[in-house]
Amino acid sequence: MCHAAEALIDEWIQKANAINIRQSDGIKIAFDGHSQLEDLQRFCDSEQVAEFAWVTLRVSHLLSCFNNVTVSLIENTSGAAQIGVCAKHVLTVVFAIVFVVGLFGNLLTMAVVYCTPSLHSHTNYFLSNLACSDFFLIVFGVPFDLISLWQKKPPDLPAYCEVMSTSISLFTYSSVLTIVVLTAERFMAICYPFTLRTLFNKRKVINVIYLSWIIAFIPSLYIGLQFKPVTPDFCGYNRDLGDGTGSCDFVASKVIPFQYLFEVNMLLTFLLPVSFIIFCYMRILNTLTELSNITAVHLPVTAKFSDTSQKDAALLHVHMKDAAHLRSQQAHKVVIKMLGER
C-alpha cells in the first residue's frame, strides 16, 4: 500500500513538473508546485492539465483515506455552490408532495381504467400505460434524488448507480414514447378517422405498448451502465475512483461517437418527440377548424301522393359560415363521434 502511494505521488510530481502551457499570446506558464489550481482550470482543455487533474484527485483521495479527512484538492471549485440546508429542506418537502400525489394519482388512474369496462378504449390503454411508467418513475426517482440530496455517497449496494439509473431512464423513455404514440393515435382519429380502424385495434394497441417498453429498455440499459460513483476533479471531469466514493453520475467515454451521448439523447427523447407532438396537434387544430367551417346543405325533400299527384316540397336549409352556434354544434358532434366510436 505504501509502495503504491509513493508511486502515485511520484507520478503526481512528474506531471506537475511536466506542465508547460503556451497561451495564444505567447506567454508561458510553468507549474512549479506553488501555482494555484484555480489558475490551471483555465487550461483544462489541455491533455496535460486534464491528466494532472486526474492524478491530483487520486493523490487527494489517497491522503484523505490515510488521514480520514477530505482534502480540498478533490473539489471542483468551478462548479456550482453547494445547496444550503434550508434549500434541502424545501426540496425534501417538494419531493415528498410529488411522491404522495403522484403515487396515489397514477395508481388510482390505473385502477379506475382496469375496473371500468366502459373505459377500455385505445386512448385509455395508452393513458394507463403512461400512469404505470410515471408511477414507477416516482417510486425509483424520488428516493434516488433524496439520497443524492442528503448523502455524500450512494448506498453501499452492488451496482446501485447502474440499476437506479437504468430504471429511471427506462420509465422516462417509456413515458415519452407513450405520449408520442398517444398523440399519433389522436392524430389518426381526427385527421384520418377511417384509417384509424385499420391501424389500431385492441390487440395492436397492446402490442404497441409492449414494443414501446422494449424500445425504451435498449438505450436505458446502455446509458444506465455508464453511471458510476464518481468524483469531479478540479477540471470538472467526473472520475471513477473505484471504491464507491462520490455521487452517481455519468462517466463520459473517450470514444468520439459516444462523447456526445447526452446531446443525442436530448435529440431523440426531447426535441424530436416535441416536434412531432407540435406537428400533430397543429394538424388536428387545422382539421377541426375546417370541420367547423363546413357549410351544411339539406336538399329539398319531395313527397309524392298517388291520389292527387300533388308535390309538397320541403324548404331548403342552408347553414352559412356565419352561423357560429351551428358550426360549433356540428364540430362538437363530429369530434365526439370520432373520439367515442371505438
Do 159 and 66 share a structural domain? Answer: no
DSSP letters for 81-122: PPPPHHHHHHHHHHHHHHHHHHHHHHHHHHHHHHH-GGG-SH
Do 33 and 110 share a structural domain? Answer: no
pLDDT in tens, 70-82: 444 444 443 334 6
What's phi and psi for 238, nearest 5 deg? -75, 130
The model's pTM: 0.70
Do 271 and 123 share a structural domain? Answer: yes
pLDDT, mean of residues 264-283: 91
- Closest by alpha carbon to 54, among 113, 3, 112, 12? 12
Do 90 and 9 share a structural domain? Answer: no
Sequence-ordered list of residues with C-beta below 8 angstroms from that of 283, at least 6 positions apart, any chain: 187, 191
Q: Is the pLDDT of residue 40 over 70?
A: no
pLDDT, mean of residues 272-281: 94
Last residue of a domain, one of 11, 46, 74: 74
Determine the pLDDT at residue 15: 57
Q: Is the pLDDT of residue 271 over 70?
A: yes
Per-residue pLDDT band at 7 (split at 50, 70, 90): low
Do 335 and 196 share a structural domain? Answer: no
Do 134 and 33 share a structural domain? Answer: no
Residue 80 maps to a domain: no
Q: Is the pLDDT of residue 108 over 90?
A: yes
Determine the pLDDT at residue 124: 93
* Domain total in the chain: 3
How big is the CA angle at 59 (ends 83 and 32), to the nearest 5 degrees? 100
**Long-range pairs for 140-145 at CB < 8 Å and ≥24 separation?**
140/164, 140/167, 140/168, 140/171, 141/168, 141/171, 142/95, 142/98, 142/99, 144/168, 144/248, 145/95
CATH code of 221's domain: 1.20.1070.10
Residue 79 maps to a domain: no
Residue 129 maps to a domain: yes
pLDDT, mean of residues 97-117: 95
Domain extent at residue 68: 2-74
H-type alpha helices, 151-201 = 160-191, 193-199
CB 55 within 8 A of CB 15: yes
Tell me the pairing of strands 311-313 and 238-239: unpaired
Do 327 and 199 share a structural domain? Answer: no
Cα–Cα distance measured from residue 57 to residue 60, given in angstroms and rounded to the nearest whole number: 5
Do 206 and 158 share a structural domain? Answer: yes
Residue 288 maps to a domain: no
Determine the pLDDT at residue 148: 87
Do 107 and 186 share a structural domain? Answer: yes
298 by Cβ neighbours in 10 Å (0-12 / 13-18 / 19+) ranks as exposed
Report residue 66 as a C-alpha cell. 490515510
Do 101 and 61 share a structural domain? Answer: no
Residue 287 maps to a domain: no
Per-residue pLDDT band at 292 (split at 50, 70, 90): confident
- Averaged pLDDT of the chain: 75
Do 231 and 122 share a structural domain? Answer: yes
pLDDT in tens, 313-338: 444 444 444 445 555 555 555 555 55
Terminal-to-terminal C-alpha distance of the chain: 71
Do 47 and 70 share a structural domain? Answer: yes
Last residue of a domain, one of 13, 48, 74: 74
Per-residue pLDDT band at 12 (split at 50, 70, 90): low
Bridge partner residues of 303 (DSSP)? 312
pLDDT in tens, 123-153: 899 999 999 999 999 999 999 999 988 887 8
Determine the pLDDT at residue 280: 94
Q: Is the pLDDT of residue 229 over 90?
A: no
Last residue of a domain, one of 278, 309, 326: 278
Q: Is the pLDDT of residue 35 over 60?
A: no
Residue 285 maps to a domain: no
